[in-house]
Chain A
Amino acid sequence: MVFSGARSSTLEGSLKYKNIFGHGDIWDSSLAYGCDNSGEVGLGLYLPRLRGRPSPFTSRLYLSTQDWLKFSSYRERALGVSLGVLLSKNHELGYTLAWRNLIDPTQMASRTIRRQIGHSLVSDLKYTFKVDERNSSLRPTRGYSFVSTSQIGGLVPDSRTLRFLRQEIDLKYAVPLGFYRSALNFGVSGGITFPWGSGYKSRASSVSERFFLGGNISPVCSLGGPSALWGFKTRGLGPNEPRREAEDDKSGDAYERDFVGGDVAVTAFADLSFDFPLRWFRERGIHGHVFACAGNMAELSGNKYRNFTAPKFMETFRSSVGAGIVLPTSLFRMELNYCHIVKKQEHDRAKSGFFLTFSTPSS
């Protein structure tokens, strides 16, 4: 199951039942709720051994709802099944078949989102190559990680399923500096998506497959493609369009624009972490960091590649700097940061100030 990018913090609970059918099968049911009003109910099956041999298969039946009304004026519902195969420690193959429905119950969506409202069938194959040689995912001070995710959708004879190509790359490197357990983390992430099939140039990509940047997740922890950018709110930057004009002002909605996502996105960050001199902080792993990040995204599909130029893309890069305190726990990493927005574009939802971020190792 692929969630759209720029997720915020999520609470998830699950129950596991082991060996119901006597084949070492592990069943799990899960309920997840995100701060962005997303939710998922899922039922999964994992067979660690099949006929006595290690089996890499996982399967999951899920029903999910992602509410992006506040940011992009649409709500996404999906009912589907995903199958996973762990080919080796670093290689994973997954297949997803899902009925996806985008709706706009507010009827305030912008033009691009209005065009996307409706039903679609997703049948996609996803290959992930992942290497994580960092010494810690919550506070890496040494090592590197690399994730490449390739996705192809529309792998059925029916040409009416969603056809798209998607590629994400994420590279992180941590260099120890040798004092106060300090380390320099830097990373770069990029992604691109495009439809395929007849009329692919003029067809707009599905908003669910696009990239969105921003959110209260730390780029240091997130693995797998461009998503987080300090100081920018969830889905707070990138291509945006005016919403439908309201007949009255009673909606009270402060946001008048929809962020419609981008077909190409790039982010980069540098983070210098260091221990505080006080032993009390060191014993608890509380440390400080200063950071800088930059990112940008653009639309390419729907004939918009004609307007794309590299100089313009570089000109419109967003960036922020800041410093903060990091409180790692066994479950998640919490940061209290002060961010200063160095550069943003018109309509971006970002402002200088204090922010809290919550990240998990799998974010």
Chain B
Amino acid sequence: MEGDQDTSGFTLVTRKPCFGLPTACPNCLPAYIYLKLAQLPFQLAFNSTFPDSDELPYFETGTYVAYNYEDGGVIEKLKKDGVVNLDSQLQSLPDYLSLKALILSWLEEALAYETWVGTEGVSAWKIYYSDLPWVISKVLFYKQTYMAKTRLGIIKENSEEREKQIYKRASDAYEALSTRLGEQKFLFEDRPSSLDAIFLSHILFTIQVLPETSVLRTKLLEHGNLVRYAEKLKLEFLEAPSSSSSPPLHSFPSSFSRKGSKPKSKSKTEKTEEEKKFKKRAKLFLAAQFLAVVIYLSVMGGIYKRASDAYEALSTRLGEQKFLFEDRPSSLDAIFLSHILFTIQVLPETSVLRTKLLEHGNLVRYAEKLKLEFLEAPSSSSSPPLHSFPSSFSRKGSKPKSKSKTEKTEEEKKFKKRAKLFLAAQFLAVVIYLSVMGGVSNDELEYEDDD
């Protein structure tokens, strides 16, 4: 009658099932799939009365609860708390963070756009509001649509451009992931990871929930290997008999299967074309890795933490190199150098960001060298000579030199951590690089390939 209830066992609380999925909510489905990939037996419970909550999904066992709003999401919290971690040996891999950022940033953005704006919320209504009375549903629907548009930065004046940008990024992400995946079973080696959970969730949602007129759905279906990847994992992990009480999934719709078969024959004939495009894609992919840092870390933490992590990753990436990429300057050097100079010379000494940047001696030296060589050397530019670095800056710059020697052993110890952050920083490059490369035509790119 009173006292503690029997709360043994694991329970995942999500939004209700719909569209043939155990939960049709795009935030809840990754957690569900993650637990399925980990083969952790759990029960499913539903909350259909809180569509505007960021707590869902949440995982509970006994008095332990992992809410979705904490620590970057339920999956990250489960990993952090040691409940289930599929990524234990994958986080040090170079591609891990970059892929993660790509999926969590561009694809998530595209999905949010398509769910709330692109398809006018047709699917969202059924997922979030079908169990609420009409009055409440209507008000919350308008509220959430407005919030989604705000989050995506969509206003009346830029709606068309923003739509193009979102679809283009999604298309590029699909290309990159399709190249990365090939015909592998999982994204990494032969073991499932949280990225498989998130990406599979994205594919299943896009294909099964979004209407057939959805642009995003059409773009995804162009990549047969992604469709096959999803089919295989769904059959093996989601539709296999398990102790979970989730309802059986419906099979993929017939049009979906037919679309899937086309790319199979298409990929054989286009193998040589894909090989030609590989170099171009590889360069774009590496650039995309940097870009993901900004967006990924924008999901993962507070502003100062994000910046600190980005500095760490970039510091690791740069080392004592002259430029970010090999021995030639790139637009990323221009943008990053600009950031360092602004932070050091414009922001006041009390600035937290400035202090965090100055902790990385190699970044300061990098900026000093480039500034001396390109900005303060005599040139045809009519820009006024920059002031020399303030003395405190120089002293700070020298400190890290001696400091770095003494901290070498500490840096070695920190290397592992920095390596992880490095990958996060790789995505930062995508935004910066593509923001500069956005107007570059294919001809120009082919010219670079020839070089």
Please name the residue on chain A nearest to B135 by beta carbon.
Answer: A121
A119 contacts B135, C-beta separation under 8 Å: no
**Known A118-B50, A119-B49, A120-B49: A161·B133 in contact at CB below 8 Å:** yes
Residues of A close to B218: CB separation below 8 A = none
User: A111, A119, A238, A313: which contacts B140 (Cβ < 8 A)?
Assistant: A119
Q: B65 contacts A298, CB within 8 Å?
A: no
Q: Which residues of B contact A158 (CB under 8 A)?
A: 133-134
- Contact at B3–A114, with CB atoms within 8 Å? no
What B residues does A19 contact at CB under 8 A? Answer: none
Most buried by A among B55, B65, B67: B65
Cross-interface CB contact of B2 among A115, A160, A316, cutoff 8 Å = A316
Check B443 for interface membership: any CB of A closer than 8 A.
no
**Is A342 an interface position by the 8 A CB rule?**
no
A242-B1 in contact given A119-B132, A121-B136 (Cβ < 8 Å): no
A111–B136 CA distance with the chains assembled, in angstroms: 25
Which stretch in A188-196, A217-225, A277-285, A304-312 binds the other chain? A304-312
* Candidates B2, B53, B55, B67; contact of A345 at CB < 8 Å: B2
Q: In the complex, what's the smallest C-beta–C-beta distance from A308 to chain B, in angstroms?
A: 6
Q: What DSSP secondary structure best describes chain B's contact surface?
A: loop
Q: From B81, which residue of chain A is reached at the shortest CB distance?
A: A247
Those of A96-132 within 8 Å (CB) of chain B: 99, 107, 111-112, 114-115, 117-121
Q: For residue A299, which residue of chain B has the nearest CB?
A: B1
Please, how many angstroms separate the alpha-carbon atoms of A258 and B47 in the complex?
A: 20
| Inter-chain contacts of A312 with B (CB < 8 A) | 1
Specify which chain A residues have a CB less than 8 angstroms from the CB of B58 in the assembled complex: 114
Structural contact, A238 and B135, CB atoms closer than 8 A: no
Q: Is B60 an interface residue (CB 8 A)?
A: yes
Chain A residues with a Cβ closer than 8 Å to the other chain, count: 33
B49 A118 Cβ-Cβ under 8 A: yes
Give chain B's interface residue range (CB within 8 Å of chain A): 20 to 34
Q: Which chain A residues lie closer than 8 Å to B70 at the CB level?
A: 107
- A97 CB to nearest chain B CB (Å): 9
- Contact of A346 with B by CB under 8 A: yes
Q: Is the Cβ of B3 less than 8 Å from the Cβ of A346?
A: yes
Q: Do the beta carbons of B7 and A240 come within 8 Å of each other?
A: no
Chain B 37-65, CB-CB to A under 8 Å as 1, else 0, gives 00000000101111101010010101111
Q: Which of A99, A160, A299, A313 contacts B131 (CB 8 A)?
A: A160
Contacts of B7 in A (CB 8 A): 111
Given A118-B49, A119-B50, A240 contacting B2 (CB threshold 8 A): yes
With A118-B47, A120-B49, A245-B63 known to touch, is A111 a contact of B5 (CB < 8 Å)? Answer: yes
B31 close to chain A: CB less than 8 A: no
Chain B 1-16 per-residue mask, 1 if CB under 8 angstroms from chain A, else 0: 1111101000001000
Q: Which residues of B have CB within 8 Å of A118? A: 47-50, 53
Q: Which residue of A lies closest to B134 (CB)?
A: A158
Instruction: Please give, as numbers and ranges, the residues of chain B lying within 8 Å of A161 by CB-CB distance.
Output: 133
- Interface code B67-88, partner A: CB below 8 Å = 1, 0 otherwise? 1011000000000000000000
Q: Would you call A160 and B50 a contact (CB within 8 A)? A: no
A120 to B51, CA, bound (A): 12
B-facing residues in A141-167 (Cβ within 8 Å): 158, 160-161
**Is A243 at the interface (CB under 8 A from chain B)?**
yes
Measured between C-beta atoms, what is the minimum distance from A318 to chain B in Å?
11
Given A107-B67, A118-B49, A118-B53: A239 and B1 interface contact (C-beta under 8 Å): yes
Partner of B1, one of A111, A115, A313: A313
* Chain B proximity of A288: nearest CB distance (Å): 35
A138 to B393, CA, bound (A): 77
B64 touches A245 (CB 8 A): yes
Contact B53 A117 (CB under 8 A): yes
- Choose from B1, B4, B55, B133 the contact partner of A304 (Cβ within 8 Å): B1
Contact residues in A for B1 (Cβ distance below 8 Å): 239, 298-299, 304, 307-308, 312-313, 316
* Minimum C-beta distance from A306 to chain B (A): 11
Bitwise interface map of B from 203 to 239 toward A, beta carbon under 8 Å scored 1, else 0: 0000000000000000000000000000000000000
B60 to A117, Cβ gap below 8 A?
no
* Residues of chain B lying within 8 A (CB to CB) of residue A308: 1
- The distance in angstroms between the C-alpha atoms of A181 and B107, with both chains bound, is 80
Knowing A241-B4, A243-B63, A316-B1, the reply to whether A99 touches B135 (Cβ < 8 A) is yes
Q: Which of A215-238 contact B (CB under 8 A)?
A: 238
Chain A neighbourhood of B4, CB < 8 A: 241-242
A244, CB-defined interface residue at 8 Å: yes
Residues in A with CB closer than 8 Å to B131 are 160
Identify the interface centre among A121, A160, A308, A346: most chain B CB within 10 Å of its CB. Answer: A160
Q: Which residues of B contact A346 (CB under 8 A)?
A: 3
Residue of A nearest to B66 (CB): A244
Complex Cα distance, B437 from A8, in Å, reads 66
Q: Is the CB of B60 within 8 A of A111?
A: yes
Write the chain B residue with the least CB distance to A118: B49
Contacts of B64 in A (CB 8 A): 244-245
Residues of B within 8 A of A345 (CB): 2
Q: Mark A320-363, 1 if CB is under 8 A from B, else 0.
A: 00000000000000000000000001110000000000000000
| B25 vs chain A, min Cβ distance (A) | 14
Report Cα–Cα, A313/B133, bound state, in Å: 37
Q: Is the CB of A115 within 8 A of B133?
A: no
Q: How far is the CA of A132 from the CA of B69 in the complex (A)?
A: 52
Give the CA-CA distance A347 to B1 in the complex, in Å: 14
User: Knowing that A107-B70, A158-B134, A240-B2 are A-B contacts, what are 7 other residue pairs whose CB atoms are under 8 Å apart, sorted by A's residue number?
Assistant: A107-B69, A121-B135, A160-B131, A160-B132, A242-B4, A242-B63, A312-B1
A-B contact pairs, 15 of them (CB 8 A): A107-B55, A107-B65, A114-B13, A115-B13, A115-B47, A119-B132, A120-B136, A160-B132, A161-B133, A239-B2, A243-B63, A298-B1, A299-B1, A307-B1, A308-B1
Which of B's residues lie within 8 Å of A, judged by CB? 1-5, 7, 13, 45, 47-51, 53, 55, 58, 60, 62-65, 67, 69-70, 131-136, 140
In the A-B complex, the 8 residue pairs with the smallest Cβ-Cβ separation, listed nearest first, are A118-B49, A118-B50, A121-B133, A245-B63, A244-B65, A160-B133, A239-B2, A242-B63
